[in-house]
C-alpha cells in the first residue's frame, strides 16, 4: 500500500470535485490538518470515515487503495487484493492497541507498587500515607478501566459454537471469567455460553 500515491490520488479527486481541504474536512467532521496529512502521505484516513471520504470525492474503496480509478476488466482481482490489504491493516491496528493495553497495565502496576513502597519505606504522616495510597489505587483502577475498554473494542471475540465474531458489550467483558484474552460469555448471535477467544479481524 503506497500512502504517498494514495495521498496524491485523494488530492487529485478532491480538486476534481472543486473542494478545498477545509471544505472536505468539514463534510467529514475532521480537521483540515488531517486532510493535509492524508494528501501528503503522512497518514491514512480512519476506517470509520473511509466510506464517507470515498463518497465525497466520488470514488470506491478499491480506487482509494489502488490510488487510481479501477476499470471493470480486472475489478474482481483488485477487489480481492484490496480486501487482503484491509485485513492486514486491521490486524496491525488491533495488535498495536492490544500491545498498548499491556504497556498501560504494566505501568499502572509499577506506579501502584512504587506508591506503596514510598508509604512503607519513608517516614511520613498518616495523612500523606493515605493520600499516596488513595492516589495509587485511583490511578490503578482508572488504568484498568481503560485497559478493559481496549480489550473490549480492539479486535473481536469468536463464539466456539457458531463461529460468530463480534464486539461484546463493555459490562460483559468486565464480569466475564477469563484466561488471558479468552472470556466465558454468551454469544449475541446463537445465545450459547462458552469460552470466546480474542481474534484480530472480523473475517476468518
Q: What is the pLDDT of residues 54-104, one digit of tens each?
A: 999 999 888 888 888 877 666 667 777 777 777 888 888 899 999 999 999
Looking at the structure, tell me whether residues 128 and 95 fall in a common domain.
Answer: yes
For 104-143, what is each residue's pLDDT tens digit? 999 999 999 999 999 889 888 889 999 999 999 999 999 9
Whether residue 202 has pLDDT greater than 90: no
What average pLDDT does this structure show over 147-166?
A: 93
Nearest to 130 by CA among 138, 141, 143: 138
CATH for 19: 1.10.260.40
The reported pLDDT for the residue numbered 16 is 93
What letter does residue 73 receive in the DSSP assignment? G
Looking at the structure, tell me whether residues 160 and 129 fall in a common domain.
Answer: no
Looking at the structure, tell me whether residues 88 and 100 fall in a common domain.
Answer: yes
| Residue 187: Cβ-neighbour burial (10 angstroms; 0-12, 13-18, 19+) | buried
Looking at the structure, tell me whether residues 7 and 61 fall in a common domain.
Answer: yes
The reported pLDDT for the residue numbered 61 is 84
> What is 2-24 written as a DSSP string?
-HHHHHHHHHHHHHHTT--HHHH
- Which neighbouring-strand residues pair with 164? none
Q: Which three cell numbers stand for residue 86?
A: 484491509
Looking at the structure, tell me whether residues 14 and 48 fall in a common domain.
Answer: yes
Looking at the structure, tell me whether residues 64 and 97 fall in a common domain.
Answer: no
Whether 78 maps to a domain, the answer reads no
C-alpha angle 57-92-139 in degrees, rounded to nearest 5: 105
Looking at the structure, tell me whether residues 127 and 88 fall in a common domain.
Answer: yes
Whether 123 maps to a domain, the answer reads yes
What average pLDDT does this structure show over 148-166?
A: 93
CA distance 180 to 198: 9
pTM higher than the cut 0.85: no
Domain boundary among 70, 95, 122: 70
CA distance 31 to 155: 27
- The number of domains in the chain is 3
Whether 61 maps to a domain, the answer reads yes
C-alpha angle 157-78-53 in degrees, rounded to nearest 5: 70
Domain span at 106 = 84-152
Looking at the structure, tell me whether residues 29 and 59 fall in a common domain.
Answer: yes
Looking at the structure, tell me whether residues 62 and 88 fall in a common domain.
Answer: no
What letter does residue 113 receive in the DSSP assignment? H
Whether 79 maps to a domain, the answer reads no
Amino acid at each position: 500500500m503506497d500512502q504517498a500515491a494514495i495521498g496524491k490520488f485523494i488530492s487529485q479527486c478532491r480538486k476534481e470535485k472543486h473542494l478545498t481541504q477545509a471544505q472536505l474536512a468539514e463534510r467529514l467532521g475532521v480537521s483540515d490538518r488531517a486532510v493535509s496529512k492524508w494528501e501528503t502521505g503522512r497518514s491514512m484516513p480512519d476506517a470509520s470515515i473511509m466510506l464517507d471520504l470515498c463518497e465525497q470525492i466520488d470514488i470506491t474503496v478499491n480506487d482509494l487503495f489502488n490510488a487510481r480509478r479501477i476499470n471493470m476488466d480486472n475489478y474482481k482481482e483488485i477487489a480481492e487484493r484490496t480486501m487482503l490489504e484491509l485485513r492486514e491493516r486491521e490486524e496491525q491496528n488491533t495488535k498495536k492497541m492490544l500491545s498498548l493495553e499491556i504497556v498501560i497495565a504494566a505501568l499502572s502496576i509499577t506506579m501502584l507498587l512504587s506508591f506503596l513502597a514510598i508509604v512503607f519505606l519513608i517516614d511520613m504522616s498518616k495523612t500523606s500515607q493515605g493520600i499516596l495510597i488513595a492516589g495509587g489505587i485511583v490511578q490503578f483502577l482508572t488504568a484498568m478501566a481503560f485497559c478493559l475498554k481496549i480489550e473490549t473494542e480492539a479486535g473481536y471475540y469468536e463464539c466456539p459454537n457458531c463461529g460468530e465474531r463480534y464486539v461484546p458489550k463493555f459490562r460483559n467483558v468486565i464480569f466475564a471469567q477469563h484466561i488471558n484474552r479468552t472470556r466465558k460469555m454468551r454469544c449475541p448471535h446463537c445465545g450459547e455460553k462458552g469460552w470466546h477467544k480474542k481474534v484480530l479481524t472480523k473475517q476468518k
